Structure 1
Amino acid sequence: MFATGVSCVCGLAGSPAERVSLAQTASTASGPSSVPSIDQALEAQVPSGPALSPDGQRVVYEVSRTNWKDDAFERDLWIADRAGSTHLLTSQVKSSSNAKWSPDGHWIAFLSDRPGQVGDTKADSKQLYVINPGGGEARQVTKLEDGVDEFEWAPDSKTIAFTTMDPLSKEQKDRAERYGDYTVVNGDERMTHLWTVDVTSAPVATPASKPAPSAASNSAATPPAGVPEAHRLTEGDEFSVQGFSWSKNGAKIAFAAAKDGELKHGGTATIYVVSVADKKVTKLVTTPGPNEDPQFSPDGSEVAFVTADGAQYFFYANQKIAVVPVTGGTPRVVSGDFDEDAHLVAWSEKGIYFGAVKKTASHLYRLTVATGAIEQVTHPDDLMGFSPSFSKDFSEVAYRAALPNTGVEIYIAPTTGSGAAVRVTHLTDAMKPYTLARREVVQWKSGDGTTIEGILDKPADFDARKKYPLLVVIHGGPTGVDQPAVNPDRYYPVEQFVAKGALVLRPNYRGSAGYGAKFRALNVRNLGVGDYADVISGVDSLIAQGFVDKDRVGSMGWSEGGYISAFITTSSDRFKAVSVGAGISDWMTYYVNTDITPFTPQYLHATPWDDPEIYRKTSPISYISTAKTPTLIQHGDRDKRVPTPNGYELRQALEDHGVPVKMVVYHGFGHPIDKPKQQRAVMEENLHWFGHYIWGEPFVDGVGPGAAPGATK
């Protein structure tokens, strides 16, 4: 966000760019009464990662590709220009992503995990490559065992700074050889550090070197073949580097770094500067963190960064923008009373650009540092914009964007004035043959009078005189947000549900992003309890309007949405079926197993040892004696965020109380289920689960989605 034929690229190559207002792109889908199948939804191609050329005329972007044979979602790089010309830039096995133009516009750097890489690297490591924008063979720039995490071009268009995890030390390798593989908790963390590489320098000798690509029509010096030598900028075990940026003269790099790379230590992140010439590191900010995402001022005298401004409970406090002199000193907050998380993007002569969620929209903003004035750059007001990238002079910006009931495309637009946006991709044209659900923003009052918004998905032929089943799909976070854009279904087959005649409510319950810091704090020491009230009041509001069948209501969600669904399972008899995806059942179990242990102390203001009662009150398992609702549980077996003991605990408790329950564990997956075959399984399980309990369909027998043990067929 400004804040982070479906199997082919339909209508892309050679299609003319449209010079239209974004408001004009919202149109009603037409065609036969059909929706994409689950497989077609998983094959739907979506543009992402736009990178605008320095002259503002071309944009390189990623297009997803579903590889069923290798069970992977992969990405290719494409280039489009304002005149409507497009071409495929990379076409390799596996993925190419994270493209960035050199400041002179002559080269594009990107990351790839393609096979056949130079050097002894891990099979899935992402190495750095450069390629001529006109095409040709890409040249590998790094050969790192663990690959590259992030990178940025220097202003000279020759040097690239990047971060990579430090390799295992000799002592660690010797230990593994002698004792086997094991981990010392809080003792085996590996640090991430900054390096630089000159892509035009002579390569390290290697028999795997390839011929250099042709410079085609530009005048850039052709990088030599092979992999050049990289040079370390930071080192040691005092900090682990996160995001970074170059000064405009290329003499310094500002970076954020935390105690180590563990999520639980994210609050220790603060801002440093390193001098490229002598590698001298200076700590700029000593105030409490997290302090992140540094960007130099145009004259190099100051560094802007995102800060919690000393907030003790920074998980739900507003993230603000502050600036500090490059020599160090006392930071000053410059984003004023802007009441949302400000996601810093860049600092130009025109001001600081940042992104933020605005209820169910998201926008790019420009902050004038001297006055604190903030101007919304993107329009119209209901735009959902993501991933901005600027031309060198900041006169143009490329971004992903959608309006209500449209899919995401990539646009180029001016940053000032009233000029129209230029649409440069047309991937959503593949959806034109389908009749998709209609999305609208709805609003209701929760039990304590708080106004709650959500997205209601309706059949295209919705008739308010009829009664429809209602399925609630609950986002994660809790600081996620649902928006009325058209996105391919993942986890939950919403379009299939709507085609079967259901309404789907996606509530932005208390704690969601986009509604200000006070709203985000409403579930503090109230997790689950207040969230459940927001969901059930939304259900009641729709029932009261007369078009919902109160006897056919279900709920589902992943992560925090799974937790709220587990709360529904154990607290309500009003739902006919529930699906809990990677959800929390017991905050105590969660606290001692998760990789993000500060979460519950931040939201519950206590550890389970300090205040066991608040952990009991907000845990679904505490209400298991009242559980009646048939529940599907889905979990990755390597989930560190919400570890599987949460799923097993809920499953056993429901079984002990005679409640129909089915648990499916997906092997090799962490918190997200991120491969197509397993996402297919997740969606089909949900389709059959609710098909049975909401529509009375028989369970499917045999291998694959089917009945819960002991459930009625």
Structure 2
Amino acid sequence: MPHPASELTDLLTADLVVDLAAPVAPAISPDGRLVAYGVVANSGRGGHPDSSLWVAAADGSAAPRSLTDGTAHDGAPKWAPDPAWLFFTSDRQERGSAQLHRILLDGGADLAEPEPLTSWRGGIGDHHPLADGRTVALLAEDESTAEDERRQAEGDDAKVWGRHLPVTRLRLLDLETGVIRTVAGLGDRHVVEVSQRPDGGPLAVLSWSTAELDPGVLTAQLHLVTPATGAVHDLGPVGVEARSPVWWHHDGAWHLAHLAVTPGHLVGGLAVIDTVPPASGPAVEQRNLTAGMSICPTELAQVADGPPLALFADGLDTALYRLDPQSLRFHRLSRPPGTMAGLTVSHEGGTLAVLASTADEFRNVHAGPTGGPLLRLSDTSPELRGIRRGVQERLGYQAPDGLPMDGLLILPVGRARSEGPFPLVTLIHGGPYSRHADEFALTVVDCGQWLATAGYAVFLANPRGGSGHGHEFAAVAAGAVGGDEWTDVLAGIDLLVAEGVADPRRLAVSGWSHGGFMAAWAVGRTDRFKAAVMGAGISDWGSQAGVGDWGIMDAELGGGTGWDGPGPHLHDLRSPISYASRIRTPVLILHGEEDTNVPLGQAVQFHRALRHFGVEHEFVVYPREGHGLHERAHQLDALRRIRAWFDRWL
């Protein structure tokens, strides 16, 4: 239980935010007795996070204990069929090169030393212990050859586009001999996920035509692979952004389900797609098991031979559902407040574990019976319990067209609504297919409590285009970014002004990724905001479609590409750069130098436009960073710089 507000004395600091130890990747043992998980913290070498592995009794009968010491990057825990063994990846031998390890959990006080199982040059990307107990499926790139090493040493490293990214292949490790064999029947397709049929049968393998996101996510296919022989049976194409293949059994037939964007759309809500693999040839029928649902599936979990479990984003919360094999519809088992993620289920499906968070409780590992109450197992950041926090409220309101909307309000620390109006910072989430859920979020991007500590009220907006309200709600963003989603945000701000919470003379807007686009879009539409922060945001949808990782998906959002003809282009109407001459709001631009999702050029172009029109702004580039910030010093800088920017202008 959270402490009463009167007992909380400490204020949140930037160091505390970036140094939080967070649990990741829970994995419940097949018998449901133990839960392994990782803990990531900014205690690593060179300012980079490292992670340790922990294990806890699922019923809470024994305190969690550490399996590794956190001096390397240990992750991806997965159980052998015999729960005495836990497999994981670690770069303890060579920094940045993950190799497969296993550790024996015999129940004693002294832990065995982790046993390295591979020394694959280039490292192991993922692994999946198979039901026979003798084999582990590995996802790994090709090892470098002597010729590769010679070329690298001599700088003879020209990249041929389309072949410049290494392909990940499916390989099978024999634990007894240590021999690794590659499944050749998949050709040069890039393997992204593997799931074995629970009876020890074939592997469901999800692949792309290339390691590039565009067109990789558009060219996904499913295959069946027989582990003993390596024989491959192609099931054919599956949906856009396909992921999470799971098996289930009903009426003598094995089904194979996966998540993908709702069929017929490039942008929209995720759906659960199901098929019955034929004995030969491609899959004939693929059924949408979530058609018409007003919530969005986020995860699927395989349960022995029974129907799968699934997590759904449901407004501000997350719900647990089970598929009814008769009606082929999902039925809700529970809907606790807050969020759940990382769903992992025992072999028979009686016990599960998740990462759960509420408005008052930071994310931790929870476990319990399926559909029953969950017990918190981990406590990775106990220091947060003494921190004074702003009260987080749920908001419900209507968009201008009458559509029901939700969001969150965080009040300044120690203040009540009646003490308003307050300076208000509106935080807009990325994606756009994401959401602000009613959880205790505390990162550089989701820094609501950090701003509340400085006296700001914070509005966490959930406009159209996001998840949690079904496919149609999400699909509105296609070709219309900055349209309804912008008026959705404004309606929430207007509500808070009308209720006396927000001071209309002290409004600011901020966001990262798509939220960064929305912040740049906002200041080109109105001068109501006195300050803005554009983090890794898009300024020009036409160029973004041409150079961003997601390519054609960004074109679908923005409304076109630069090669659609001489114009005028729809994407120009949706691009903040087109309205730079209108901007009067001071803007802080933050961007990672090595971002390929939203390339740095998007920020450079916006910076030059603001400079051209004499707009007060600051442009900050973080070396070595991609689409997010990972180095400790950079995270600290961003937190302090963002708050200083609002302090200066509000």
Q: Which TM-score bucket, shorter chain as reference?
A: over 0.9
Give a deviation string over 1:375-421, Cα, whole Å, max 9, x none.
223343x24111111122211111111233222222211115xx432
SS at match of 2:603: helix
Q: Identify the range of structure 1 (327-336 vs 615-624) with the bigger mean alpha-carbon deviation.
A: 327-336
Which residue number in structure 1 is paired with residue 649 of structure 2? Answer: 693
Aligned twin of 2:346 = 391
Shift of 1:275: 1.3
> Which letter maps to 2:195?
S
The equivalent residue for 2:51 is: 75
1:125 aligned partner, one-letter code? S
> What is the deviation of 1:73?
1.4
State the partner residue of 1:678: 634
User: CA, structure 1 residues 604+68, in 2 after alignment: closer, same or farther (shift >3 Å)?
Assistant: closer
For residue 246 of structure 1, what is the amino acid of its counterpart?
Q
Q: How does 1:421-440 map to 2 (within 5 A)?
A: 421-440=374-393
Deviation at 1:549, TM superposition (A): 1.2
Output the amino acid matched with 2:581: S
- Contact 1:257 1:269 survives alignment (8 Å): yes
Which residue does 1:111 correspond to in 2?
89
Write the deviation string for residues 280-334 of structure 1: whole angstroms up to 9, x where unpaired.
1111134665544322335895241325488342331432221222525313416
Q: 2:553 aligns with which of 573, 576, 599?
A: 599
CA contact (8 A) 2:303 2:346 kept: no
How far has the Cα of 1:70 moved from its partner?
2.0
Worse-matched range after superposition: 274-283 or 576-585:
274-283
Could you tell me which of 456, 460, 472 is aligned with 1:502? 456
Check 1:152–1:440 CA distance in 2 against 1; reply closer, same or farther (3 A cut).
same
Give matches, 1:94-493, under 5 Å: 94-114=72-92, 116-117=93-94, 123-134=95-106, 135-168=111-144, 180-199=156-175, 201-202=176-177, 228-234=178-184, 237-265=187-215, 266-286=217-237, 289=240, 291-298=242-249, 301-306=253-258, 308=260, 311-327=263-279, 328-333=282-287, 335-337=289-291, 338-342=293-297, 343-380=299-336, 382-416=337-371, 419-459=372-412, 460-491=414-445, 493=447
C-alpha separation between the residues in 2 aligned to 1:111 and 1:180? 32
Aligned residues: 635
Q: Cα distance 1:98–1:179, how it changes in 2: closer, same or farther (>3 A)?
A: closer
For 1:287 and 1:54, the matched residues in 2 are separated by: 29
Aligned-residue CA RMSD in angstroms? 2.3
Q: CA deviation at 1:514?
A: 0.4
Q: 1:650 is matched by which residue type in structure 2? A: F
Deviations 1:335-388 (A, max 9, x none): 1433444332214444121222111111221102232242223343x2411111
The structural deviation recorded for 1:551 is 0.9
For structure 2, list consecutive stretches of 5 or more residues without a partner in the other structure: none
State whether residues 320 and 341 of structure 1, in contact with CA within 8 Å, keep that contact through their aligned partners in structure 2: no
| Pair 1:519-2:470 in alignment | no
Deviation at 1:445, TM superposition (A): 2.5
| Partner Cα separation in structure 1 for residue 613 and residue 509 of structure 2 | 20
Contact 2:482 2:518 in 1 (8 A): yes
Residue 56 of structure 1, CA deviation: 1.5
Per-residue CA deviations over 1:405-441 (Å, capped at 9, x if unaligned) read 222222211115xx43222123353222111111111
- CA contact under 8 A between 2:338 and 2:437: conserved in structure 1? no
Q: TM-score, normalised by structure 2?
A: 0.92
User: Retained in 2: the 8 A contact 1:248–1:298?
Assistant: no
What amino acid maps onto 1:422 in structure 2? L
Following the alignment from structure 2 to structure 1, what is the Cα–Cα distance between the partners of residues 340 and 419?
36
Partner Cα distance (1:33, 1:52) in 2: 37
CA shift at 1:178, angstroms? 6.8
Question: TM-score, structure 1 length as denominator?
Answer: 0.84
* Pair 623,663 (structure 1): closer, same or farther in 2 beyond 3 Å: same
Deviations 1:213-250 (A, max 9, x none): xxxxxxxxxxxxxxx22121236644111111112343
> Is 1:587 the counterpart of 2:538 in the alignment?
no
Deviation at 1:189, TM superposition (A): 3.8
280-289 or 384-393, which deviates more: 280-289
Q: Contact 2:543/2:561 (CA < 8 Å) preserved in 1?
A: no
Shift in Å, 1:495? 2.5
Tell me the CA shift for residue 46 of structure 1.
1.9
Task: State the alpha-carbon separation in 1 of the partners of residues 404 and 72 from structure 2.
Answer: 46
Q: Which amino acid aligns with 2:219?
A: T
Distance 2:440 2:458 in 1: 14
Q: Contact conserved, 1:398 with 1:410, CA < 8 A, in 2?
A: yes
* 1:24-43 correspondence runs (5 A): 25=1, 28-43=4-19
The structure-2 alpha-carbon separation of the partners of 1:303 and 1:151, relative to structure 1 and needing over 3 Å to count, comes to: farther
Q: Please, which runs of 5 or more residues in structure 1 have no aligned partner? A: 1-24, 118-122, 203-227, 695-713
Question: 2: CA distance between counterparts of 1:30 and 1:75?
Answer: 34
- What is the CA-CA distance between 1:593 and the residue it aligns to? 1.6
Partners of 1:272 and 1:285 within 8 A in 2? yes
Deviation per residue, 1:113-150 (Å, 9 max, x gap): 12x35xxxxx3011110001242200111112221112
Higher mean Cα deviation, 672-681 or 330-339?
A: 330-339
Q: Distance in 2 between matches of 1:655 and 1:532?
A: 25
The one-letter amino acid paired with 2:101 is: Y
* Residue aligned with 2:276, SS: strand
SS at match of 1:39: helix
Contact 2:267 2:478 in 1 (8 A): no
1:455/1:484 contact within 8 Å kept: yes
Equivalent residues of 1:366, 1:376 under 8 A apart: yes
Deviations 1:39-85 (A, max 9, x none): 01111222222111222222111122222652011111111112132
**Higher normalized contact order (CA 8 Å, seq sep 6+, divided by chain length):** 1
The 3 A distance-change label for structure 1 pair 102 and 422 is same
Describe the superposition over 1:630-651 as per-residue Cα deviations: whole angstroms up to 9, x where unpaired: 1111111111111111111111
Point out the more displaced range, 233-242 or 542-551: 233-242
Q: For residue 535 of structure 2, what is the amino acid of its counterpart? A: G
Note if contact 2:198-2:305 (Cα within 8 Å) is conserved in structure 1.
no
Q: Does 1:668 align with 2:624?
A: yes
Shift, 1:545, TM fit:
0.7
Sort the Cα spacing of 1:179 and 1:312 in 2 relative to 1 into closer, same or farther, 3 A. farther
| Counterpart secondary structure, 1:243 | strand
Structure 2 distance, partners of 1:69, 1:177, is 26
Going from structure 1 to structure 2, the CA distance change for 1:170 and 1:612 (only over 3 Å counts) comes to farther
By how many angstroms is 1:197 displaced?
1.2
Contact map agreement 2:186 2:232 (CA 8 A) in 1: no
The 10-residue stretch of structure 1 (476-485 or 173-182) with the greater mean CA deviation from structure 2: 173-182
Query: Which amino acid in the other structure matches residue 39 of structure 2?
Result: V
Equivalent AA in structure 2 for residue 396 of structure 1: T
**Distance in 2 (alpha carbons) for counterparts of 1:363 and 1:310:** 20
Moved more, 420-429 or 70-79: 420-429
